[in-house]
Amino acid sequence: VADRVSKETRSKIMRSIQSKDTEPEVIVRKILTGLGYRYRLHKKDLPGRPDIVFIGRKKAIFINGCFWHMHEGCVYAQMPESAFWKKKLTDNKARDKRAATALEERGWLSTTIWECELKNRQNVIETLINFLGPPTR
């Protein structure tokens, strides 16, 4: 898929993605809306309270910060030395795994979009389409 925005807009987008106050979830929602998907937010009665859900498709998306959810092999997910943080972050990761399994047991599929992946929007778009299937309409 070719980039439909100018170089200037692209660099603005990249800067906004990297800026601290840009919420990754908002970026993913904008991408999904742009692609024509219809979704719901924070389904509280589902395991792990996924950030974005597609009820008809029974698919859920988690948008995770690399550090807080210990993205494997990611430069932003360096495990701190402190025992307190080690436990907290290891617990977070274990909770994420349990949520994905619990969703599967209910017949739901889930995927995770990592914060660092948003630097390459094209890849995120492909990941979303592969996971969700084509948008209706």
Q: Which residues bind Zn ion (CB under 5 A)?
A: 66, 71, 74, 76, 114, 116
Distances, alpha carbon 84 to alpha carbons 70, 79, 109, in Å = 15, 11, 32
> What are the φ and ψ backbone dihedral angles of 103, each rounded to 5 degrees?
-65, -45
Question: What residues contact residue 50 under an 8 Å CB cut-off, 6+ apart?
Answer: 42, 43, 60, 61, 62, 99, 103, 110
Coil vs helix vs strand at 52 = strand
Q: How far is the CB of 90 from Zn ion (least distance, A)?
A: 17
Whichever of 68 and 131 has its CB closer to Zn ion, that residue is 68
Q: Give CA–CA dist 51/112, Å, rounded.
A: 10
Q: Write down the least CB distance from residue 38 to Zn ion, Å.
A: 28
Least Å distance, CB 85 to Zn ion, is 17
Complex with Zn ion: residue 46 or 113, whichever CB lies closer: 113
Of 46 and 70, CB closest to Zn ion: 70
Least distance from C-beta 114 to Zn ion, angstroms?
4
Is the Cβ of residue 57 or residue 112 nearer to Zn ion in the bound state?
Answer: 112
Report the C-alpha gap between 121 and 102 in whole angstroms.
29
